[in-house]
Amino acid sequence: MISKKNSFTALSLASLLALAGCAGESPDDSGSETDSGSGDGTQISFIHWRGEDKAVFDDIIAQFEDEFPDIDVEMNIYPSEQYQATGQRMLTDGSTGDVFTSFPGAQFEAIASAGFFEDLSGEDFVGNFDENLITVGEKDGQQLALPYQLVFNMPVYNKGMFDELGLEVPKSWTEFQEMADTLLENDIVPIAFPGADIGPNQFMNSMMMNNAPDEDIFTKLQSGEESLTNEWWVKTLEDFQLLEQKGYIQPDALGTSQDSAMAMVANEEAAMLATGSYHMASLLGLNPDLELDLMAPITVEESEAQYEGINTATFMLAVNSKSEKKEQAKEFIRFLSRPEIASQYANETGQHLTVNGVEYESEVLQNTAYWIDERTTRFQPRFLITNAQIEAAVLSSIENVLGGAEPMEAAEEAQQIVDENRE
Amino acid sequence: MKISKMIYLFFIPGLLLYSIFFIYPTISALFYSFTDWDGLSDAYQFVGTGNYERALTGDTIFRKTVGNNLKFMLVVVILQTIVALAFALIVLKNTKTNLFLRALYFFPTILSSVSVAFIWSFIYDPSLGILNQILELLGLDVLRQNWLGNADIAIYSLAITQVWFHAGQMLIIFVAGLQAIPEDLYEVAKIEGASKWQTFRKVTWPLLAPSATIVIAYTTIQSFKAFDLVFAMTGGGPNNSTQIIATYIFDVAFRSYNFGYASSISVLFMIIIAAITFLQFKALRSDRISY
């Protein structure tokens, strides 16, 4: 009863905010729904945020329903911001999201704390996934969620342009600056940085990966063992300052949107896009002649570098512990983890996956697949910040520096917010 | 005349809706503001006045949001009132051109805030945006700005958008107020030899005070609740320079999963709006006059 009461109160607070003009549209208003079922079987609800994957999921769901005529899948898609904000609340009574997806980091932690993840540890289909890529879905020895997508959150660069200018991928911070200087001499902006939206939260990962190779650094920050005023973060902020002061990122970067930054790279005004592999297909859509690859800035000397890039296993598939249709929900995840279905999803959406045995057909996916096995990447550090207020403080310090503040001053300001929000 | 007791039954539907959608959420928010509820779990603990103490003494971002909101409100209230009144005076007479212009000025009001945010994000884009391009064409390169990316001016850029969005709505209120002023008073002022400014100051403004009160109070409340515009255009950045109380409540409740604390900020938010609105009513009441 308490649960229902609390759920109602949560909705009530949302109503209050809505009345006060503080909330967005309700999920039902803006979510996209697909129910391709015949209506005579058990209906399971599948909720996620990937609107761009609707067509391929519709096709996969149709195949699933052909094979399992007793199960209908109702898919609801919500914008990612909205999903992050309201996804958890939809799970509370078990009627929605029999199969749901979660972001790693703060959302995963919140859902785990609320007990909405069904433990999938003993399920046979867990073996269909690369065990090294699904650890982010583990908590307290239980496999609570299975990341499906694998993205590389590091700059996409114009390989063709580099070849033309005789540039090689830099292996140290000194080489990186030399490379950037050469690009500037050729009137090319080295890095298109979408500072108005996702730039800081994406680029911070590769900028700090070798400055703070300890993967527990943000856990320690949250527990008070580490501070943003220590060298690893101040050096990262100094590196950002250098990018801005030397013109390695475009002027007015904090006002530049993702679309504008992509246009700069597509038009070959800029050599790198500081986002991630998930934008490669869109860039090729804007300019099919581009030859693209991935490259993270190595911010230390070559001998000190431990990582070459950043990976994120995300779009974590899970079963709602409150669901009354857990077996059907698991059957759907088992179906999604089949190599042939995963291959269809990967190739039609242009993404790498965590599923074993996926065959990548597109040139871009094939050309960048070496990042999965042959390169040393680390899991996106930002997602290891489980407190959203602390994450916001970390990102704000980057914006502060790009806005003209001194690195130490920005670090101190952010650390104060970290201290206020530490649990 | 005796009113049947049955008439009270007609209050019930409205009262019920008001209770469900306003009274209950308000009481719930007040209740949870004294807890540490995360918005998801069944369990919560009472933390006394801890959330309020944190907001008032230990939360740098909350203090910043209050400051941002006050800046935003001042710019919007002053600018929107002046713009709406000026345009109302221009389009006061019911000519065909003026009717068209009133409709034109009112048009932004009927747009969705997301559309407005999209339009203005494009206008403000530092490289592709038309605002900087126009300034360049006019040879005013020196005025080019990173409108939404510069922490010093981003909140004012948002305020301008808010004024564009809602000034037309206020213009209609002013036109209605102006048209209700008896023509005789202007004739008397003319006979007495009053200048245009004296006529405005001694006749128009005092009789327009009730409309101005509505406009200013409504604009104040609107500027505190400009959640959707801020959320869609800057998300509170850069570096929290456009974070206002409403967007912060959203962050705390739905990104940090701290409903208890978000509820306490919501309660403080209501108190702040109520206090400012009360002060405005008091101040503007003294300007009212009747002839």
Backbone phi, then psi, for B140, in 5-degree steps?
Answer: -105, 45
Contacts with A34 (C-beta within 8 Å, 6 or more apart), sequence order: A54, A57, A58, A61, A74, A75, A76, A77
Pair (A132, A244) in one structural domain: no
- A420 interface with B at CB cutoff 8 Å: yes
Question: In 3D, which of A279, A249, A254 has the Cα closest to residue A266?
Answer: A279
Does residue B174 surpass a pLDDT of 60?
A: yes
The string of pLDDT tens digits covering residues B199-239 is 988 899 889 988 998 899 899 988 988 899 999 999 998 99
Does residue B290 surpass a pLDDT of 60?
A: no
Mean pLDDT, range A19-33, rounded to an integer: 40
Pair (A214, A246) in one structural domain: yes
Domain count, chain A: 2
Mean pLDDT, range A165-170, rounded to an integer: 95
CB A319 within 8 A of CB A330: yes
Does residue A52 surpass a pLDDT of 60?
A: yes
Question: Following DSSP, what letter does each residue of A52-110 receive, concatenated?
Answer: GGHHHHHHHHHHHHHH-TTEEEEEEE--HHHHHHHHHHHTTTSSS-SEEEE-TTHHHHH
- B277 interface with A at CB cutoff 8 Å: no
Q: Do B266 and A13 touch (CB under 8 A)?
A: yes
Contacts with B266 (C-beta within 8 Å, 6 or more apart), sequence order: A13, A16, A17, A20, B29, B33, B249
CB B32 within 8 A of CB B260: yes
Q: Where are the alpha helices (DSSP H) in A287-375?
A: 326-336, 339-349, 363-368, 370-373
CA distance A153 to A314: 11
Pair (A335, A261) in one structural domain: no
Judged by CB atoms within 8 Å, which residues 11-30 of A form the interface with B? 12-13, 15-17, 19-24
Does residue A5 surpass a pLDDT of 70?
A: no
Percent of chain B beyond pLDDT 70?
Answer: 97
Pair (A66, A129) in one structural domain: yes
How sure is the predictor about A105, in pLDDT bands with cuts at 50, 70 and 90? confident
Pair (A269, A144) in one structural domain: no
Suggest the residue from B220, B250, B257, B265 to mutate for an interface test with chain A (most A CBs closer than 10 A): B257
Pair (A137, A160) in one structural domain: no
- A198 interface with B at CB cutoff 8 Å: no
A122: helix, coil or strand? coil
Residue-level pLDDT at A92: 82
Sign for the CA dihedral angle at A171, A174, A178, A181 comes to positive
Q: Do A403 and B151 touch (CB under 8 A)?
A: yes
A171: helix, coil or strand? coil
Mean pLDDT, range B1-15, rounded to an integer: 80
| Measured CA angle at A180 (ends A175, A186), to 5 deg | 130
The mean-pLDDT minimum among A57-71, A84-98, B194-208 falls in A84-98
Element (H, E) at A293: strand A292-294
Mean pLDDT, range A106-119, rounded to an integer: 89
The string of pLDDT tens digits covering residues B120-153 is 999 999 888 899 999 999 999 889 999 999 999 9
Residue A88 in any domain: the answer is yes
Pair (A259, A401) in one structural domain: yes
The string of pLDDT tens digits covering residues A309-363 is 999 999 999 999 999 999 999 999 999 999 999 999 999 988 899 999 999 998 8
Residue type, B230: V
Residue-level pLDDT at A82: 79
Residue-level pLDDT at A264: 95
Mean pLDDT, range A1-17, rounded to an integer: 43
Pair (A119, A229) in one structural domain: no
Suggest the residue from A4, A13, A15, A396 to mutate for an interface test with chain B (most B CBs closer than 10 A): A13
- B57 interface with A at CB cutoff 8 Å: no
Q: Is A162 or A37 the better-scoring residue by pLDDT? A: A162
Q: Is A157 or B93 the better-scoring residue by pLDDT? A: A157
Per CATH, domain B51-285 is 1.10.3720.10:
yes
Q: Where are the alpha helices (DSSP H) in A153-291?
A: 159-164, 173-185, 199-208, 217-223, 231-245, 258-266, 280-286
Residue-level pLDDT at B279: 86
**Domain ranges, residue A103:** 22-150+312-369
The mean-pLDDT minimum among A296-300, B46-50, B200-204, B280-284 falls in B280-284
Residue type, A150: L
Pair (A171, A260) in one structural domain: yes
Element (H, E) at A315: strand A309-319
Domain of residue A143, CATH code? 3.40.190.10
Pair (A128, A221) in one structural domain: no
* Dihedral angle over CA of A226, A102, A123, A76, nearest 10: 180
Percent of chain A beyond pLDDT 70?
Answer: 91
B18-50: string of b/e by CB count within 10 Å (b at 16+)?
A: eeeeeebbbebbeebbbbbbbbbbeebeebeeb
Sign for the CA dihedral angle at A39, A43, A46, A47 comes to positive
Contacts with A367 (C-beta within 8 Å, 6 or more apart), sequence order: A292, A293
Mean pLDDT, range B69-92, rounded to an integer: 94
Residue-level pLDDT at A245: 96
Q: What residues of B are in contact with residue A254 (Cβ under 8 Å)?
A: 146, 149-151, 237-238
* Domain edges within chain B: 51-285
Peptide bond preceding B238 in cis form (omega within 30 of 0)? yes
Pair (A222, A144) in one structural domain: no
* Dihedral angle over CA of B18, B19, B25, B31, nearest 10: 140
| Measured CA angle at A199 (ends B72, B159), to 5 deg | 15
Residue type, A66: D
